[in-house]
Amino acid sequence: MYKYVFLGAFLALVLAACQGEYRNIRDYYYPVLEQQSGEVYAYDLTMNGQTIRDYWYFRGFVRDSGLFLSSTNYDAQFQINQISRERIDETGAVNRDYFVYEQDSATQKSVQTAATVESPDVFPFRVKDSLGVFLFNLHYRPAGMNGAKLYLIRNRYFLGDAPDFEFNGKKYPCIRMGVREAIGNESEGASEIEGKGEEWYAKGIGLVYFKKTYGDKGSIVREYRLRERFDMTELERRAGKSFGQ
């Protein structure tokens, strides 16, 4: 009898130790429950020395089927680039829908294209070390490019803590995620560009910074930094001013 009691206690200790090796980083992703009224993040996007403003509109939704996050990306001219929808599970954020918006060269109108998501893992909530890789993979056929099939493969892995990020006079603790990407056109075989970099996520905010390099010698550099947060009314005001309204 005692040996079974000892075995049970030993297994419980082993299980507890294994569970203790994982870290919960849920609080470093976007605060979905707080974003049910919608919130815009304004980032500075710097590419090879030139900086433009980039916007993301986040909105959380509570449904009978679960918790969801809708994300809409607007460029500096307030045109939609992409829309995605994620389900927020206990283990992480998982993509459910992904749409790309491109301008049709003939009509000059924005065309929506639904992407096929093959591997939906966007962001993990339970991490252990850099050995755990979280894969996001999609492809789509762009408007106006007959026969083209573009794809994105993105691997994220946990790197540990990052320096605090200062935003609006307050410092936020951060974690670091390593990123490796491949972007290409299946119709052209070897036409692929690879990238690597690092992302910082701040507690209670989400993504606040990244730096990625692309190409054989890292000749293409993209850097992203959060500058502002405001509601959709302010984005609409800025868009109206830009359009002369």
User: Which domains can be identified in the chain, with CATH numbers?
Assistant: 24-242 (2.40.360.20)
List the structure tokens of 89.
């599970």
List the structure tokens of 17.
């130790």
Assess contact for 201 and 224: CB atoms under 8 A. no
Identity of the residue numbered 139: H
Among residues 135, 121, 43, 30, which one has the least CA distance to residue 81? Answer: 43
Within 10 angstroms of residue 91's Cβ, the number of other Cβ atoms is 11
> What are 152's strand-pairing partners?
138, 183
For residue 182, give every residue at least 6 positions away whose Cβ sits within 8 Å of its Cβ, in sequence order, or none: 151, 152, 153, 192, 193, 194, 195
Confidence at residue 191, expressed as pLDDT on a 0 to 100 scale: 73
Confidence at residue 17, expressed as pLDDT on a 0 to 100 scale: 45
Residue with tokens 């946990």: 158
Assess contact for 74 and 58: CB atoms under 8 A. no
Kindly state the helix (H) or strand (E) to which residue 13 belongs, with its residue range.
Answer: helix 2-20
Identity of the residue numbered 207: L
Confidence at residue 12, expressed as pLDDT on a 0 to 100 scale: 45
Confidence at residue 205, expressed as pLDDT on a 0 to 100 scale: 98
List the structure tokens of 197.
């970099």
For residue 3, give every residue at least 6 positions away whose Cβ sits within 8 Å of its Cβ, in sequence order, or none: none
Confidence at residue 20, expressed as pLDDT on a 0 to 100 scale: 55
**Over its length of 245 residues, how does the chain's per-residue pLDDT go in tens digits?**
444 444 454 444 444 444 558 899 999 999 999 999 999 999 999 998 899 999 999 999 999 999 999 999 999 999 999 999 999 999 999 999 999 999 877 777 889 999 999 999 999 999 987 678 999 999 999 887 778 899 999 999 999 999 999 999 999 999 999 999 999 998 866 678 999 999 999 999 999 999 999 998 888 999 999 999 999 999 999 999 988 86
> What are 170's strand-pairing partners?
167
- Secondary structure class of 121 (helix, strand, coil): strand
Confidence at residue 14, expressed as pLDDT on a 0 to 100 scale: 42
C-alpha distances (whole Å) from 109 to each of 102, 143, 149, 243 are 8, 11, 21, 16
Distance between CA 218 and CA 224 in Å, rounded?
16
Among residues 123, 30, 15, 13, which one has the least CA distance to residue 69? Answer: 30
